[in-house]
Amino acid sequence: MSLIDAGRDLTVATRSRLSETEASALVARLFGIKGRAHRLDGEYDENFRIDSADKAYVLKVAAPGERADLVDVQVAALRHLKQGNPRVARTEIDGVTRWVRLLDFVPGVLMADVSPQSAPLLRSLGAKIASIDLALSDFDHQAAHRELQWDLLRTSQLTEDARRITGARGQIATTLLQRIELEVLPIAERLQRQVIHGDPNDYNVIVAEDRVVALIDFGDVVHSATVCDLAIATAYAMTGKNDPLGAAAHVVAGYDAVLRLEDAERRVLFPLILARLLMSVVISAARKERAPDEAYYTVHEERAWRVLEQLHQVPFEIAQHVILSEAKDLLSPPGDSSAGDGDILSRRRALLGANLSLSYEKPLHIVRGWKQYLYDADGREFLDAYNNVAHVGHSHPRVVEAVARQMAVLNTNTRYLHENVLEYAERLRAKLPEPLRGGVCWFVNSGSEANELALRLARAFTGQRDVIVMEGGYHGNTQRMIEVSPYKFNGPGGEGCPPDVHVVPIPDVYRRRLQRHPERSEGSVVAVAVAALRKRDRAPSAFLVESLPSVAGQIVLPPGYLRDAFAAVRSAGGVCVVDEVQVGLGRVGSEFWGFELQDVVPDIVVMGKPLGNGQPLGAVVTTREIATAFANGMEYFNTFGGNPVSAAAGLAVLDVLEDEGLQHNAQDVGSYLLEQLRELQTRHAVIGDVRGAGFFIGVELVSDRETLEPATQETSAVVNGLKESGILTGTEGPHHNVIKIRPPMCFDRGNADSLVDRLDAVLTRSSLL
Ligand code: PMP
């Protein structure tokens, strides 16, 4: 028999039997209490809130024919928990005998109606479940030893009903059910058992002052595995969240802090959570077939499906790991992390170099990332509009899995043969135009290292040392990279421009510095630098340039700039090196590389930040000719560069980019965001310029649109205000007056709307000050 048919489903049968007036009369007659009755929701019982002069109660009138022992077990459990002060009576209503209970009303709201749900609230849910499990551990009742429709340990019975689900969702249900059985069955016998509440779904959880204060409705009380209540509560806590696994981790940590989970319980927890979600969708689907007009079922079903679809994409072990990741022996009390942050700040100051900067006036203590969201130690969610390293999204399960798998097998260096690095080199090269497509790759561990290598290649090829760079440029943190980064050598602590480095003005179209030479094309400033070198009988080894200068202020180079600049450099025998560290890998949307916006092909391409989604991975790709000149007998060895784990990360990133259509997303959502920001510019005079391509965007703030006076302080205030309102951006540019927007590639239209709305609000608020 199917599980659905076996279960009791009295909802329809019992609906609206008793009027509110009749309920008031009943309470007066049976319990001597005068009060007004208001109907409450109830699946099996008919429930009313009774407001008397001094107190509120809940009246529960059981369905006709309800078994006496089932009423008794509920009352006994409540009495054992010292909750609700239950009074019981049996009476005739319309000639039918029914059980009637009166309980104290618990003030508060239903967890299902609380949004958003904070980390302390989620932890308090776990803690409440644990304290009830503890309190019921020495309680028993014969009626609790029964077979229930919702018993999570009997998921195998769902298989038949799951066949009603067709298409992709049917596939998900079948795959997950198989996995659940595989995980749970072998250890089901070893699980700790006791009487549990049986259904702490979010309509049975009462919240007051951001804490769970009680579980209500003990109608499903049952003798089962202790861990089932935690699994059920967690399953519902995951619905409606951007990061369901993170939400689950809070609930589980709250539980574990009160009642330590046993090893077997840890192992079955995630499968049981899945089991509850599946049970919910399977039973809802079946009930919907019977009562298609019941919107209640559809709502539950849809929100459970959304979580299941999200979880289905995450490798099982990773989900399990995240869910248990916050459960530790000693947890700081919920909401007490500000004290912890003070501590972490002073420890950092004592332990790390003082010139490692922290973002924002009040620094963030981020403990988890998921897709385009980051979470602080208090569980507060931030929309990440800044991070281009987590290119395909924070903690992307496919990247995590690829890295973990390879790390578990082998991590060595390029002195042994290995497929990964070769496959990655092939895949990366294939993304480049000729002649780089047939060129040669090196793998390193950072953008700085990659730029270092690029300049060594240029020097080996040309025999020259001079380098031409762009005003405001940044290329890395090593000594030579500081020497070729005007942003650094002209900035605080800098030693000025070295004699073999030559800076050309930045073609900042908004600020139009180049108007001093309106007769020249913008790229011809590089020709001027080359000519100056030639006069001194010197020639450039390299022109090193970011395809879209970032720290210089999120600049988009004017059309034709690199074409003219490259021609000048090459005419003097120099090599053109494009630094794609910030913008490569589809970020600009319409193209895969930033330089493609300029219709040029560099001699050397430098890549970094996004390649490994956070796994350190940089790359240099050049032509065969340049590579040959570098192979002069000196070995190039890089201990970590090109290791199988980093290559696995790089491959997974390329797979996800392609499979999830993220370059197209950057184009689509990026253009939409630019449009919306330009619309905002018409309403806020402080926005002087909005520029960018795809997901590489700058919003320049000026206090005067004529003089372009930089609104430096306001920019800092706006970025901090955005952060306070839950959105992470940064500041950039020589005057620190450009808001930098550079989100993970999965940023969606809804995220773009949130960003624009909150920027609007922050700007409105600051203009009122
Ligand atoms: N080039 C550019 C354009 C960069 O923005 C950066 C880092 N911000 C680097 C190179 C250096 O990369 P890394 O910090 O990985 O050494």
Report the C-alpha gap between 17 and 94 in whole angstroms: 10
Residues 143 and 273 in one domain: yes
Residues 632 and 721 in one domain: no
Residues 613 and 501 in one domain: yes
What pLDDT does 203 receive?
93
Which atom of ligand 1 has the smallest separation from the CA of 616?
Answer: 15
Instruction: Tell me the backbone φ, ψ of residue 483, rounded to 5 degrees.
Output: -70, -20
Using one digit for the tens of pLDDT, what is the confidence trace for 257-287?
A: 999 999 999 999 999 999 999 998 988 877 7
CA of 671 to the centre of ligand 1 (A): 25
Residues 246 and 376 in one domain: no
- Does residue 371 or residue 517 have the better pLDDT? 371
CA of 541 to the centre of ligand 1 (A): 21
Residues 89 and 141 in one domain: no
Residues 325 and 352 in one domain: no
The first and second tokens of residue 49, run together, are 């809130």
What pLDDT does 519 receive?
53
Using one digit for the tens of pLDDT, what is the confidence trace for 40-65?
A: 887 778 999 999 999 999 999 998 88
* 284 sits in which H/E element: helix 263-290
CA of 624 to the centre of ligand 1 (A): 25
Spatial neighbors of 336 by CB under 8 A, at least 6 apart, are none
CA of 606 to the centre of ligand 1 (A): 10
Residues 347 and 457 in one domain: no
Under 8 Å between Cβ of 460 and 630: yes
State yes or no: pLDDT of 514 exceeds 80.
no
Under 8 Å between Cβ of 376 and 382: yes
Report the C-alpha gap between 45 and 29 in whole angstroms: 19
Which protein residues touch ligand 1 with a CB less than 6 Å away? 446-448, 451, 474-477, 546, 550, 579, 581-582, 608-609
**429 in a structural domain:** no
Instruction: Determine the structural domain holding residue 703 and report its residue range.
Output: 342-390+662-765
524 Cα distance to chain centroid: 44
Domain count, the chain: 4
Residue 553's CATH number: 3.40.640.10
At CA 27, angle to CA 23 and CA 28, rounded to 5? 115
**23 in a structural domain:** yes
Average pLDDT of the chain is 92
The first and second tokens of residue 313, run together, are 């994409």
Residues 674 and 615 in one domain: no
What are the counts of helices (DSSP H) followed by strands (DSSP E) for the chain? 25, 25
Which pairing describes strands 730-732 and 738-741: parallel, antiparallel, or unpaired? antiparallel
What pLDDT does 426 receive?
98
State yes or no: pLDDT of 474 exceeds 90.
yes
Which residue in this structure is represented by tokens 């369901």? Answer: 244
CA of 475 to the centre of ligand 1 (A): 5
At CA 343, angle to CA 342 and CA 344, rounded to 5? 95
Residues 12 and 131 in one domain: no
Residues 281 and 142 in one domain: yes
Per-residue pLDDT band for 331 (boundaries 50, 70, 90) equals very low
State yes or no: pLDDT of 135 exceeds 80.
yes
Using one digit for the tens of pLDDT, what is the confidence trace for 655-706?
A: 999 999 999 999 999 999 999 999 999 999 999 999 999 999 999 999 999 9
Cβ burial of 55 (10 Å; 0-12, 13-18, 19+) is exposed
* Residue minimizing CA distance to atom 12 of ligand 1: 447
Under DSSP, the state recorded for 261 is P
Looking at residue 260, its amino acid is R
Taking residues 764-768, report their average pLDDT.
Answer: 77
Using one digit for the tens of pLDDT, what is the confidence trace for 412-450?
A: 999 999 999 999 999 999 999 999 999 999 999 999 999
Residue 14's CATH number: 3.30.200.20
Taking residues 738-752, report their average pLDDT.
Answer: 98
Taking residues 527-548, report their average pLDDT.
Answer: 97
Report the C-alpha gap between 325 and 248 in whole angstroms: 10
What pLDDT does 125 receive?
98
What pLDDT does 10 receive?
40
Of 389, 474, 488, 740, the residue with max ligand 1 atoms within 8 A of its CB, to mutate for a pocket test, comes to: 474
What pLDDT does 726 receive?
96
Using one digit for the tens of pLDDT, what is the confidence trace for 455-466?
A: 999 999 999 999
What pLDDT does 86 receive?
95
Instruction: Decide: helix, strand or coil at residue 423.
Output: helix
Using one digit for the tens of pLDDT, what is the confidence trace for 195-252?
A: 999 999 999 999 999 999 999 999 999 999 999 999 999 999 999 999 999 999 999 9
**411 in a structural domain:** no
Using one digit for the tens of pLDDT, what is the confidence trace for 478-507?
A: 999 999 999 999 999 999 999 999 999 999
